[in-house]
Structure 1
Amino acid sequence: MTEVTIQAADGGAFMAYVAKPATLPAPAVVVIQEIFGVNAVMRGIADDLARQGYLAVCPDLFWRIEPGVDITDKTQEEWNKAFALLQKFDVDKGVGDLKSTADWCRQQTECNARVGTVGYCLGGKMAFLMASRSDVDANVSYYGVGLVDLVGEVPNIKKPLLMHVAELDKFVAPEARDTVLEAVAANPKVTAHVYEGMDHAFARKGGDHFDAAASELANGRTADFFREHLS
């Protein structure tokens, strides 16, 4: 486990946490952060992916606002900071940074040139956008937010996208959820699973809405998806 510096396409550079598998070269998975930065939860996900055989890279998407954000969901002060960062976040530049991260992965001798993404919350939105705006091989979105405003992007999804949708997501109105599900159903490259009774971040270990059974089911589907499309 280490940190690397990646050059942004529009100038500047940002940090990324890297976890390496035992066997290299390997497919790479870009882990896309929640609104709490590259924190222990995100690093843990990267470590888990490395144990599954992937070169896992988690870039700092908030670097233009405040480099090195590493907070939790445990205090109101941290939530306030996270939402303030989200308000300042430039989604389009974030997509650019994720593309730069994918390019960096492909340039490494430790990568076999296959690259996927997996994102959570804000990262789930960004994984959805990587599916529509990039050429990475496979993308996974966990309870993405703000997707109802992006349904026009669905026809542009040409590579496989797996979506994990919380039925009772407190950040996604039921009408918005159903609009997104209807839109992606028209694209055969998209597979969406709805987790009944689940709230936002049901797969975040230690979170208020963590559900072990739903998390295990979603993570198993993600593992199968990556094996199919990144091997």
Structure 2
Amino acid sequence: MTADTPLAPLQDAEVPTADGPMPALVVRPPSGSGPGLVLVQEIFGVTGYIRQRAADLAALGYLVVVPEVYWRLPDHTLPEAADDLLPRAMALVQQLDWPAAVQDVATAVRFTRDLDGVDGRVGLVGFCFGGGLAFNVAAVEPVEALVSYYGSALGDLLALAEQVRTPSLHHFGTDDAYVPPSTQDAIRRAVTPTGARFVSHPGAGHAFDNPAPAFHHAEASREAWAVTAAFLAEHLPPRAAGESSAVRTPAGPGQ
């Protein structure tokens, strides 16, 4: 975590879909404008950790939109302090309509691209369940960059690898119990021919970026974040001060 990044003001937003409005959060960069990023939650939902990562990305110069991917489920609120949080989250994600979730996040990408303050470029960043979902979305919706942290569904999505034509970065821990070495090898073989970068973090388990003691690996988290920031700066660079762009005047989401 980048604990010294103040939690930026979060704006509530609604992403219009064919089935009604999908709740989302918007975090603007200090400049108020820049490239857009859609941040796709991990299995636990839009937690304090995900909100902090949204602030961290905004501090790098991105306008970040965080859709509530579980919004279609009748009871999708998970208590972050619950002792049984993981099994409850696993049960919740089993109820998810994956194709609908893909379309929802793709809709969030288009929503972000049209937001006031976004310069027309949009990337995807996803964690855990969200890493695989972001990969699937990148296969069907044009984006300028993709960052996937330990995408747990990637092993089942390898047939889509050739459709993901955007610069991509994948992080995995070598000790990930949910994405074992054999699956990681299959993912690596599928994505690297497309030009994707695959980074292994020694000794790190699944969800190593999550600050919860059960998951966190401090060294892997720091290294992965540095690689992520550099990757985004290369492939989705914020505009330099004074550089011309087509950014519209920032306004509230939905305006």
TM-score, length-scaled by structure 2: 0.85
* Structure 2 match to 1:4: 13
1:123 aligns to 2:130 (yes or no):
yes
The farther-off stretch of 205-214 and 95-104 is: 205-214
Q: What secondary structure does 1:63 align onto?
A: helix
Q: Map Cα deviations across residues 148-168 of structure 1 (whole Å, 9 max, x no partner).
A: 111111111111110001111
Within a 5 Å distance, the mapping from 1:216-231 to structure 2 comes to: 216-231=222-237
Q: One-letter code of the match for 2:67?
A: P
* Structure 1 match to 2:241: none
1:181 aligns to 2:188 (yes or no):
yes
Ranges in structure 2 where 5+ consecutive residues have no aligned partner: 1-9, 238-255
1:50 aligns to 2:50 (yes or no):
no
Aligned with 2:120 (options 113, 116, 127): 113
Q: What secondary structure does 1:5 align onto?
A: strand
Count of aligned positions: 228
> What's the C-alpha RMSD, in Å, of the aligned pairs?
1.5
What is the distance in 2 between the residues matched to 1:112 and 1:70? 34
**CA deviation after TM superposition for structure 1 residue 25, in Å:** 2.3
1:81 aligns to 2:93 (yes or no):
no
What is the distance in 1 between the residues matched to 2:213 and 2:225? 16
Q: Map Cα deviations across residues 63-94 of structure 1 (whole Å, 9 max, x no partner).
A: 1114663532x534322221111101122111
* Structure 1 match to 2:206: 200
1:95 aligns to 2:102 (yes or no):
yes
Q: Map Cα deviations across residues 76-117 of structure 1 (whole Å, 9 max, x no partner).
A: 432222111110112211111111111111111211111111
Aligned with 1:41 (options 14, 30, 49): 49
Q: What secondary structure does 1:62 align onto?
A: helix
* Structure 2 match to 1:23: 31
What is the distance in 2 between the residues matched to 1:41 and 1:100? 24
* Structure 2 match to 1:213: 219
Runs of 4+ in 1 over 3 A off after TM superposition: none
**CA deviation after TM superposition for structure 1 residue 220, in Å:** 0.8
Q: One-letter code of the match for 1:105?
A: T
Higher Cα radius of gyration: 2
What is the distance in 2 between the residues matched to 1:147 and 1:71? 27
What is the distance in 1 between the residues matched to 2:140 and 2:174? 26
Q: One-letter code of the match for 2:200?
A: V
Ranges in structure 1 where 5+ consecutive residues have no aligned partner: none
Contact 1:38–1:68, Cα closer than 8 Å, also in 2:
no
Q: Map Cα deviations across residues 154-189 of structure 1 (whole Å, 9 max, x no partner).
A: 11111111000111111112221211111112212x
**Structure 1's 161 and 15: CA in aligned 2 closer, same or farther, altered over 3 A?**
same
What is the distance in 1 between the residues matched to 2:221 and 2:213? 12
Q: Map Cα deviations across residues 33-58 of structure 1 (whole Å, 9 max, x no partner).
A: 01111110111111111111111111
**CA deviation after TM superposition for structure 1 residue 130, in Å:** 2.3
TM-score, length-scaled by structure 1: 0.93
**CA deviation after TM superposition for structure 1 residue 207, in Å:** 3.8
Answer 1 or 2: higher relative contact order, Cα 8 Å, separation at least 6: 2
Aligned with 1:142 (options 142, 149, 159): 149
